[in-house]
Amino acid sequence: MRILVVEDEDAIAEPLTAGLRREGFAVERAATGAAALEAAAADVVLLDLRLPDLDGMDVCRALRERSDVPIIVVTARGEETDRVVGLELGADDYVVKPFGLRELIARIRAVTRRTSRPAPQAKLHAGDLVVDVRARRAEVDGRELDLTPKEFDLLAALARDPGAAISRRRLLEEVWETSWYGSAKTIDVHVAALRRKLGDPARIETVRGVGFRLRAS
């Protein structure tokens, strides 16, 4: 994976690029906004907002206008307004300095997973359960389910492969975009809620030592 680091401060850029290279990434550095816009295409852009020549927001906007490359804003400007503006201009994530290398790498992997996923099927079926991914609606035997956003995402993750055992790790990565097992309890809470709303607890089966399985029929 090729990463473009847009950062003018050597004290930050040099250890960051060295750390990313140790983790196996190919890294190019740009110290100015103009250099960032002239750089070869990358798989991910780490973009500082305080650059010596151009405002980082303008660089973000220009990159987004010409490419769908994942952009992670990395900056000391942590005010909520800066975060909102950055995301509205097309950034995929926002990391405030100081940050840990492991956290940054986790965010890089999360944004690349999101942007590399194939377009989902419009509708998923498991017996009389229908999950409309585009409309974000689900129904059982014609009865629409009142689901929270995470409940819907969890049900859709299970419905993409009815009858298959889906691991907790995979569900954490797909629905919560983390692999931290400290979050695993939240899966149980959402599964319990889904079972109630589906009207038949047996529709989502627990696979001991693995995760969960949506009954196919």
| Residue after which a domain boundary falls, among 96, 116, 136 | 116
pLDDT score for 18: 95
For residues 136 and 170, membership in a common domain is answered with yes
N residues, the chain:
217
For residues 19 and 86, membership in a common domain is answered with yes
Q: Let me know: does 155 contact 147? Beta carbons within 8 Å.
A: yes
pTM: 0.56
For residue 110, the enclosing domain spans: 2-116
| Residue after which a domain boundary falls, among 70, 89, 116 | 116
Percent of the chain past pLDDT 90, that is, above it, reads: 53
- 14 versus 185: the higher-pLDDT residue is 14
Enter the tokens of residue 105: 């790498």
Can you tell me whether residue 47 is helix, strand or coil? strand
Query: In the predicted model, is pLDDT for residue 87 greater than 80?
Result: no
Closest CA to 187 of 157, 158, 209, 154: 154
pLDDT score for 186: 79
For residues 112 and 30, membership in a common domain is answered with yes
When pLDDT is cut at 50, 70 and 90, the band that residue 170 belongs to is: confident
